[in-house]
Amino acid sequence: MIRAFPRALKRVVPQNSLRALFKSAATTTTMLFAAAALLACTPAYDWRTIQNNDDAYEVTFPAKPRSDARDVDIAGKPMHMKMQMAEAGDAVFAVGTVDLPDADPATQRAALDFLQQGLARNLNTVPTAHPVQIDVAAGGQLAGAEIAVSGTHGDGQTSETRQIRARFIAKGTHAYQVAIVSTKAPPPDQIDQFFSSFKLF
């Protein structure tokens, strides 16, 4: 079950437009960039807490999130990936979750590599990850990784410079991607609000 505690929201882009674009997206990584392509600058940040009990995390989003899902192939294994995302300012804030077939460390590593490489590939760059600690709601922290990359994303006819900052963590039978994709980086306090709010159950 997903619980949201929303306040008033002015939508950044029409939801129907995003849904139509999502249908043609090959992966949820592509969907994230599709959402970024439709951004209209909206400076307001209307933070609300989302508790996703199905995927065992909570996070605050700067606007009401929308959800989508796709089946993906990771290391030759079919897996299911879900994504929640919200737009604010010049950025898309997103949490992606891959349902893993088992909790084997090799499976977790393959999924995390898939997520990291997939994001960076959209900007034609190679990510360099550094360690970061991810909070657990019950107390304590788990070791994760963070990347920060920038580059050009385009469809062959037009291109834009984008920035990505993302964190990755695996716990049990889930692998997570917590990402901000932007044409202009959000204020540091808004970036910190998003990343520091992410907690695993």
Kindly tell me the sign of the dihedral angle through the C-alpha atoms of 143, 68, 78, 123.
Answer: negative
Q: Are 183 and 90 in contact (CB under 8 A)?
A: yes
**pLDDT for 196 beyond 90:** yes
pLDDT mean over 105-112: 96
Choice between 116 and 39, residue whose per-residue pLDDT is larger: 116
Q: What is the mean pLDDT of residues 185-194?
A: 93
Confidence label for 125 from pLDDT (cuts 50, 70 and 90): confident
CA 104/CA 86 separation, integer angstroms: 31
Containing domain of residue 150, as a range?
Answer: 2-200
* Predicted confidence (pLDDT) at residue 30 exceeds the cutoff of 80: no
pLDDT at 157 over 50: yes
> To the nearest whole percent, how much of the chain has pLDDT over 70?
75
Q: Hey, how many other C-beta atoms are within 10 angstroms of the C-beta on 159?
A: 12
pLDDT of residue 126: 83
- The answer to whether the CB of 177 falls within 8 A of the CB of 108 is no
pLDDT band per the 50, 70, 90 thresholds, residue 151: confident
> CA 89 to CA 194: how far, in whole Å?
13
What pLDDT sits at residue 123?
82
Least confident stretch, 35-44, 83-92, 119-128, 139-148: 35-44
Q: How far apart are CA 9 and CA 46, in angstroms?
A: 7
Q: Assess whether pLDDT exceeds 70 at residue 83.
A: yes
How confident is residue 154, by pLDDT bands cut at 50, 70 and 90? low
Q: What total of structural domains would you count in the chain?
A: 1
Q: What is the mean pLDDT of residues 69-94?
A: 93
| Residue 153 banded pLDDT, cuts 50, 70, 90 | low
What's the CATH number where 79 sits?
A: 3.40.1000
pTM: 0.80
Exposed (0-12), middle (13-18) or buried (19+): which is 30, by Cβ within 10 Å?
middle
